Chain A
Amino acid sequence: MIAFVLQRLAQAVVVMLAVALVAFSLFRYVGDPVINMVGQDTPEEERIRIREQLALDQPVVVQYFRFVQQIVSGNFGTSLRTGIPIGQLMAERLPATLELAIVAGIFALAVGLPMGVYTGLYPRSRLSNAFLTLSLLGVSLPTFLIGIMLILFFSVMLGLLPSFGRGDVVHLGPWSTGLLSASGLQSLIMPAITLGMFQLALIMRLVRAEMLEVLRTDYIKFARARGLTNRAVNFGHALKNTLIPVITIVGLQLGALIAFSIITESVFQWPGMGLLFLQAVQFADIPVMAIYLVLIGFLFVLINLIVDLLYYVVDPRLRVDVRAGRGG
């Protein structure tokens, strides 16, 4: 178990270093930050001073390690555009994005999993066909279109739900939550549905395919031959085996939800990290872009790590393999 965790942690560190390298290269290849910071009539000495202050005169490798070192020590630098420390900016925006992504993920899972199980168990039923058709829409409609259509219907035509923003937030220490106020919850509904729709369809189709596959296996046939109840066979034996790939995908998709929230956040003017990133891109605010990349990478790696550990809990075969040193 410990060896397994250490191995995965080592992999995570390597991946993070690579992500940091990509983020770092933004500084080198996307314009000259000094030019963006200073006015036209800034004297050359002043420019050199800023350059030195930002360590832009050092060798690349040194700069990279300084970059990594600063991030690790929690110093994310300051936004070129606003002059606010990036750590503070992100801390303000992170709760909005995480709440949106997690609620969207729960929505996708809570609806997609039962739909997938149903369509897997009754592939020929009319309801299954309806679900499948809907899921096709879910995977093929662009996110912004779903968002705009929801706004048109529920905000403009029916006036039921707010079309933008996060509503009232409640501050719990450093965390600002929209989950504790009525307007916050109302504001969350449409963005979460918009963001979760693709994942919902994906999860449904995945669970369905896995379910159909598992139901064909010998151990399911043998479970039926032993006279186990349908419930035990379908929801015990079959569903549990279906869950292994589903956990992987759902985990990875949670990362994707956070990353792809950019579009949803811009449609609903949701004050999260995605919106922050878009603004940063407009102003070539490279430190913010770089830290955003690193942060998203970190969340991906973290989620992956958790998924691996979950695997380990669900699948007994992994446990023994690792113990016997076969790994893999």
Chain B
Amino acid sequence: MTDRPNAPLLEVRSLRVEFETRRGPLVAIDDVSFSIAPGEVLGVVGESGAGKSLTGTAIIGLLEPPGRITAGEILLAGRRIDNLPYEAMRRIRGREVGAIFQDPLTSLNPLYRVSDQLIETIRTHLPMNEKEARARALQLLQEVGIPGAAERLDHYPHQFSGGMRQRVVIALALAAEPKLIIADEPTTALDVSIQAQIITLLKRLCREHGTAVMLITHDMGVIAETADRVAVMYAGRIAEIGPVRKVVQEPHHPYTVGLMGAIPNLGHDVAALTQIEGSMPRLNAIPPGCAFNPRCPKVFDRCRVDRPDPMPVGGSDVACWLYGEGR
């Protein structure tokens, strides 16, 4: 593996997530392994339905039945967290792993003041009284750049604009200083003009606090600017994972090559990743061998029989037989 100075903060090993259905189990995440170092930003990209959100949800332990982890393990700072009882995992959520979701308009409870929601979160995890928690809440709102934070503190969510609400959401996610934040398309629902601001803010705060981020997005521009490493997911598996510059400039996996071909030049935003012919298979129709083989321009015999596992190629890990032995 690559030589990283720090021991990983998060380690996902051979994760498998299945949905129990009447017609048998559907495998939504299959043999996914990756790690995130302290303070590192891992970008996760892939088409809709690739399993990005599901991976994040599995990490924070909020998979909803009938979905469940059926194999693999998840370690946080060396400690296994995928098999913890609900209450033990609850203490980790927010305190050690925070989360930000796509839609700031619906992430906040409409019936509670912003101050209530912040103070509640702070006091759940930190030994503070009401007054100290309120002071911290105010400080957090200032930190995420809400103008007039002192007055805004006691406002209700509907009194904030979308961008401001996402700032509040970020403040909430950071309230107990987690070491890792899972940001699932944190800007997709926002105005294009505001997206960059929010990403910049998130990036700055995480750098200042030394928080690692798993940044799920469709936006390769954001990944190129923000992430240290990037994982490309396809049909519930990782197709390619490596340092962002490597993956962007010399992609190896034919799917990644297709994705990068979709970007005219870096720094430009590309909303959808649909430059490749065809569409991703449904979970109940994933072909044998390499899941990408029906769409792959470089497909050959072995691809239709054997499933490729990620193997090291020039600093990245690539799941493609083009780089396997016996070719």
Contact = CB atoms under 8 A, between A and B. Distances in A.
Given A232-B124, A316-B158, A317-B158, A226 B110 contact: no
Given A227-B176, A228-B120, A219 B93 contact: no
Interface in A28-63: none
B60 to A, nearest CB: 6
A236 B120 CA distance: 11
A190 B109 CA distance: 41
Interface of A: 217-219, 221-230, 232, 236-237, 240-241, 314-317, 320
Q: In the complex, which of the residues A218, A227, A320 has the most CB atoms of chain B within 10 Å of its own CB atom?
A: A227
Classify the interface of chain A: helix, strand, loop or mixed. helix
Query: Could you say which interface size class chain B belongs to?
Result: 20 to 34
Contacts of A314: 111
Contacts, number: 83
Contact of A219 (B92, B109, B124, B173): B109
Contacts of B99: 222, 225-226
Given A317-B158, A320-B159, A226 B94 contact: yes
Contacts of A317: 110, 156, 158
Interface of B: 60, 62, 86, 90-95, 98-99, 101, 103, 106-113, 120-121, 124-125, 156, 158-159, 169, 172-173, 175-176
A230 B93 CA distance: 12
A227 B124 contact: yes
A227 B111 contact: no
B106 A226 contact: no
Contacts of A315: 110-111
Contact of B111 (A229, A232, A241): A241
Contacts of B121: 226-228
Nearest to A232: B120
A227 B108 contact: no
24 contacts: A217-B106, A218-B101, A218-B106, A219-B106, A219-B109, A221-B62, A222-B101, A222-B107, A222-B169, A223-B109, A225-B173, A226-B172, A227-B121, A228-B94, A228-B124, A232-B120, A240-B109, A241-B110, A241-B111, A315-B111, A316-B111, A316-B113, A317-B110, A320-B158
A222 B93 CA distance: 10
B311 to A, nearest CB: 34
Contacts of A226: 93-94, 98-99, 121, 124, 172-173, 175
Given A227-B125, A320-B158, A320-B159, A218 B91 contact: no
A236 to B, nearest CB: 8
Contacts of B111: 240-241, 314-316
